Amino acid sequence: MGHKSAYAEEEMAPTTSNEEKPRRRIVVGKSSSSSGSNSESSDLPMDTLIVVSKLKAYVKAKSDFNTSGDVADELSKFVRLMVNEAIEEARAEGRKTLMARDFSKISF
């Protein structure tokens, strides 16, 4: 009889019809201005394109350095610029498929 639940009574909390439902917050990735030349660039997703855990693991294994949190965003900007140039290469060849060879033509 020394158990805590020996004297517990089952009851339900009263509910009201005007009960507020929990609010939902929609969180979107932070948008930054891109230097793209397309007029629809404001419609482009500005999510992080880098797998942060993989990047941090690579940097740690290669150099034993730590990686700052803002590195992934900067690399994402760089990746977008490279992809934009590769798209233009594919477009110049009359293709609608991006291929690895489109990136080999990019000069850094």
pLDDT for 36-87, tens place per residue? 444 456 788 889 999 999 999 999 999 999 999 999 999 999 999 999 999 9
pTM over 0.85: no
3-state secondary structure of 41: helix
- In angstroms, rounded to a whole number, what is the distance separating the alpha carbons of residues 32 and 79? 14
Whether residue 2 contacts residue 45, with contact meaning beta carbons closer than 8 Å, is answered with no
Distances (CA, A) of 26 to 23, 29: 10, 10
